[in-house]
Amino acid sequence: MPESLKNPTEVRKISKGFEKASVEEILRWCWNRFGDRAAIGTSFQGAGLVINHISRSLGCNFPLFTLDTGLLFPETLELKAQLETRYGISIESLIPEQTVQEQERELGPELWNKKPNLCCTLRKVIPLQKKLSNLDVWITGIRREQTAERSQAGILELYHFDGIMDRFILKLNPLANWTRDQVQQFLKKHDIPVNLLISKGYRSIGCQPCTRPVGAHDSERAGRWTGFDKAECGIHTFLGANI
């Protein structure tokens, strides 16, 4: 990573400038500086699909990865296959160290019902940490209107990834300003396939045991981890505060 981009003041300045830039300009900036040292992480929920579509139309062929916990809906896996065919790409699946069955043998059945934070750490956060250790930029589909926690997200953020190795990582949230409607309209306009569960009332789609359909007026992530005081799986919080 260029030394200037390890400077929090410089990153904040660039991020501020991005508030007025188009998504195309932001993605071109990233591709020109980082190429495939930047990658799009997606759970195929809308924003990631928009970012991928725009990137490819610009010739910015960022690699894509997803967290496959072994507990995803068949509809999600089907969508992954459809996207790979449509764009002629391979989307890397990040797999936990243990299968669901191995985890069950070691930690008991349905860990997600007893200790969802531990389950998310084992099945999502640790595989992601490993992936990010080989990247300079993690491109995400975070949008500010999704949750209170995400409302302060910058378009470009700098994190201290590894204090021992003194490694940094940039997080790029090119659609931070977009609304859910903007995302949906873009997907429709460009005929991009979406998760079939959306038409069944699912507004935020993760692992099967921790996702349920919600009403049209519920918040986007209301259907996640019902019964727990938990709105994030940890992948967007384990890095701590941006610097």
Where in the sequence numbering do the catalytic residues fall? Answer: 233
**Facing residues of 197 across strands?**
none
221 binds ligand SF4 (CB under 6 A): no
Instruction: Give the range of 3-11, 135-143, 149-157, 204-212 binding ligand SF4 by CB under 6 A.
Output: 204-212
Burial label for 101, CB within 10 Å (0-12, 13-18, 19+), is: exposed
Q: Taking the CB of residue 140, how many other CB atoms lie within 10 A of it?
A: 23
70 binds ligand SF4 (CB under 6 A): no
Instruction: Give the range of 39-47, 114-122, 141-149, 151-159 binding ligand SF4 by CB under 6 A.
Output: 114-122
Closest CA to 66 of 81, 85, 88: 81
d(CA 43, CA 232): 14
d(CA 1, CA 121): 27
116 binds ligand SF4 (CB under 6 A): yes
Return the residue of 80, 124, 143, 221 that touches ligand SF4, per CB under 6 A: 124
Return the residue of 159, 206, 221, 242 that touches ligand SF4, per CB under 6 A: 206
119 binds ligand SF4 (CB under 6 A): yes
- Are the beta carbons of 186 and 50 closer than 8 angstroms? yes
Return the residue of 8, 193, 209, 213 that touches ligand SF4, per CB under 6 A: 209
Shortest Cβ distance from residue 17 to ligand SF4 (Å)? Answer: 35
54 binds ligand SF4 (CB under 6 A): no
Beta strands 64-67 and 92-94 are: parallel
77 binds ligand SF4 (CB under 6 A): no
- Are the beta carbons of 184 and 90 closer than 8 angstroms? no
How many residues sit close enough to ligand SF4 to count as binding (CB under 6 A)? 13
Instruction: Give the range of 55-63, 118-126, 160-168, 196-204 binding ligand SF4 by CB under 6 A.
Output: 118-126
Return the residue of 15, 69, 195, 204 that touches ligand SF4, per CB under 6 A: 69
**Facing residues of 65 across strands?**
41, 92
Q: Taking the CB of residue 47, how many other CB atoms lie within 10 A of it?
A: 26
Shortest Cβ distance from residue 46 to ligand SF4 (Å)? Answer: 18
